[in-house]
Amino acid sequence: MNTQNLRLLMSRPAPIEPGRGRLRLGKYLVDNGSITLDQLIRALHMQLTLGAPIGEILVSEGWASPADIRDALAQQYHIREVDLTLEPPDEDLCHRMPHGFWLRHRVIPWKRENGTVLIATDRPDRFEAVRMALGDTYADVRPILASGAQIEASIADRFTMAMAKAAGARVASRYSCRTWQSGNRAVLPAILFLLAVALIFAPVTVLAALSIMAIATLIMFASLKLAALAAFLFHPRHAIASKEKPLTGRPPARRPKISVLVPLFREKEIAGALIRRLERLTYPKTLLDVILVLEEHDEVTRQTLAQTRLPAWMRVIRVPAHEGLTTKPRAMNYALDFCRGDIIGVWDAEDAPAPDQLEAVAARFADAPEDVVCFQGVLDYYNPRTNWLARCFTIEYASWFRVVLPGIARLGLVIPLGGTTLFFRRDKLEELGGWDAHNVTEDADLGVRLCRAGYRTELIDTVTFEEANCRPWPWIKQRSRWLKGFMVTYLVHMQSPRRLLSDLGLTRFLGLQAFFIGTLCQFLLAPVLWSFWLVLLGWFHPVHTLVSTSTATVIAGLFICAELLVFAIGITSVAAPERRFLLRWVPTMPLYFPLAAIAAYKALYELVFRPYYWDKTQHGHAPSELGTD
């Protein structure tokens, strides 16, 4: 449709057919002086490709305010507008249907007048669908107009306890750690106590046994990494893609609306920088729904955001407190019902996604078969030059997200998801129950559940930059939370090994064992592994009591080979020109991993005494913009 035709259409009398309501709305806005004719024409051009409501396009582009749109809608549909903060909805009418119904349709019953129930909506063009969905819930219904923000706030206010409780229990109990009993958790302290006693009375035997365990898990984890490295180097990249439907890389004909959850907690330093970064996104803003998720009692972030002007495509959802549980997955579960998109994404507070990231996500989902329900992006750091710790952290992340994880994906194994730059088909995410609100590494757990349900995760070539934790104690706190979550995830899914084997199949089952056992034991048993340097130096080692000196030397050689494998993966991961300055720091990685051993023992302690405690990582201590590190 060219500009001349649009101008001719605008000059005609306003039609009354529902299918032409968009032009009528535009005419009201032009007549009211809310927008110019040129702005309307540009919005209509955008609508031809985006398929979004004209009002949402005008608001997202900053050409009209939400109040302008509501005034025009009230005139167009001849309905009155109400302020739900001044005249709240009727409590009894609201509870005739569950909160999920009202949120799905973005409506809420307001009052009963002369036997008619007035339903508040911000989309009167969709009211007939609401009427049909309500059935005979009310004898007669009629629409009134209210802002979408007020409707959602009213739903949250009237269903506070139900929604807060549901957020903590979306995942089926057999897949959640919330059902753990204190008696079950007491088993681990008993085992540790017996181990300590055995060390006192039979130290050589215990150390020898631990050495065997360390060697076995080292071989297990090294084999997984070696297979991943080989798959990365020698398998074609398209091996991750679907064979049934080749990837075109082209954007879909009709782009989907994408909701992205950004959990925030005590983020005084990061909130402003986050908004600046997200404003760089090139995805059509009318199809973008960014939700900043805050805890109800988080006054620090609330006050920070209150002083910040948010764009129209960004909004705040406050999560009510319930039973003292304050975790990222619970907050995301609560906010999930408020999402408006067909694709759900997750970013962290310190993230700086690539500007074209969402275009890539939309294109890949359009190409992907139905069983691919999640895409995991690449995570990198924008401050690797801050200090040595930041450099090593960057090398470690590059090794994982640029080599090992793609290799695991090409092998078809279970992909333990990262906590950010994740994108899901909304219907499948809801089918899986969202996130386990009690698991402090909800991402890894969801990756396992996703695979158990018969779905797949694929990697996507788009990068999100984060802030590398560059101080030792915050690094240990963050890593201990991750390792505690790995422990919890493994124990939950291994409650029924036979069922897990049936769900995953033998290859994936063994891959999961290698990943979780290998990851945890390489840190928990790190001191035992380091002791093999004694063998190379010709000193006594407890393993000598079980095997010959030559065998012990071979075992020590295996330890060196494992270190060389880590070195090779590190070199491969930072070989690209933009990361090549990190090459000289790869040999220092053995000095970096002892911090993870400390974190592992902290995680083990918390697994017993504070399994649901979320050890917050504080950000904002490094240069925040790309290119300034």
pLDDT in tens, 145-189: 999 999 999 999 999 999 999 999 999 999 998 876 555 566 667
The distance between the two most distant Cα atoms of the chain, rounded to a whole number of Å, is: 97
Helices 328-336 and 442-452 pack at an angle, to 10 degrees, of 60
The DSSP element (H or E) to which 423 belongs, if any, is strand 422-425
Which pLDDT value is given to residue 247?
A: 52
Domain 91-158 falls under CATH 1.10.287:
no
| Residue in this structure with the two tokens 């990756």, named with its chain if needed | 447
Q: What are phi and psi of 536, to 5 degrees?
A: -65, -25
Closest CA to 107 of 94, 90, 119: 119
Q: What is the CA radius of gyration of the chain?
A: 28
Cα distance between residue 283 and residue 354, in whole Å: 11
> Cβ atoms within 10 A of the Cβ of 603, count?
26
Which pLDDT value is given to residue 244?
A: 43
Q: CB neighbours of 279 closer than 8 A, spacing ≥ 6? A: 311
- Predicted confidence (pLDDT) per residue in 28-83, tens digit: 899 889 999 999 999 999 998 898 999 999 999 999 999 999 999 999 999 999 99
- Gap between the terminal Cα atoms of the chain: 48
Q: What are phi and psi of 413, to 5 degrees?
A: -90, 175
Closest CA to 185 of 605, 479, 518, 522: 605
| Domain positions in the chain | 3-77, 91-158, 190-236+343-629
Which pLDDT value is given to residue 306?
A: 85
Mean pLDDT of 196-209: 79
Which pLDDT value is given to residue 250?
A: 59
Mean pLDDT of 377-385: 92
Which pLDDT value is given to residue 621?
A: 57
Least confident span in 218-222, 542-546, 568-572, 592-596: 542-546
Burial annotation 84-113 (CB, 10 A radius, 16+ → b, else e)? beeebbbeebbeebebebbbebbbbbbbbe
| Residue in this structure with the two tokens 């994982």, named with its chain if needed | 400
Cα distance between residue 393 and residue 381, in whole Å: 8
3-state secondary structure of 36: coil
Query: Is this structure's pTM higher than 0.85?
Result: yes
160-164 — which CB contacts under 8 Å span 24+ positions? 160/320, 161/320, 161/322, 162/98, 162/99, 163/99, 163/320, 163/334, 163/337, 164/319, 164/320, 164/321, 164/322, 164/334
Q: Partners of 463 in the beta sheet? A: 378
Q: Is the pLDDT of residue 21 over 70?
A: no
Cα distance between residue 152 and residue 103, in whole Å: 7
CA 247 to chain centre: 24
Asked if residue 117 lies in contact with residue 109, where contact means CB atoms within 8 angstroms, the answer is yes
Model confidence at 618, in pLDDT bands (50, 70, 90)? low
Q: Is the pLDDT of residue 271 over 80?
A: no
Asked if residue 353 lies in contact with residue 277, where contact means CB atoms within 8 angstroms, the answer is yes
Which pLDDT value is given to residue 611?
A: 84
Cα distance between residue 609 and residue 617, in whole Å: 20
Q: CB neighbours of 611 closer than 8 A, spacing ≥ 6? A: 177, 180, 185, 438, 484, 488
The DSSP element (H or E) to which 373 belongs, if any, is strand 372-381
Q: What are phi and psi of 505, to 5 degrees?
A: 85, 160
Q: CB neighbours of 358 closer than 8 A, spacing ≥ 6? A: 258, 281, 282, 283, 288, 345
- Predicted confidence (pLDDT) per residue in 523-574, tens digit: 999 888 888 777 667 777 676 666 677 777 787 788 889 999 999 999 999 9
- Going by the DSSP 8-state scheme, the letter that residue 113 receives in this structure is E
- For the chain, what percent of residues have pLDDT higher than 90? 65
Mean pLDDT of 478-503: 94
> Cβ atoms within 10 A of the Cβ of 589, count?
18
3-state secondary structure of 6: helix
- Residue 483, classified by CB atoms within 10 Å of its CB into exposed (0-12), middle (13-18) or buried (19+), is buried
Which pLDDT value is given to residue 414?
A: 95
Which pLDDT value is given to residue 236?
A: 61
Mean pLDDT of 268-273: 74
Q: How many residues does the chain have?
A: 629
Q: Is the pLDDT of residue 253 over 80?
A: no
Tokens read off for 396: 């470690």
Which pLDDT value is given to residue 556?
A: 76
51-60 — which CB contacts under 8 Å span 24+ positions? 51/254, 52/257, 52/284, 52/286, 52/287, 53/22, 53/123, 53/125, 54/22, 54/25, 54/26, 55/25, 56/286, 57/286, 58/29, 59/286, 59/312, 60/284, 60/285, 60/286, 60/288, 60/311, 60/312, 60/313
Closest CA to 359 of 283, 413, 427, 415: 283
CA 404 to chain centre: 20
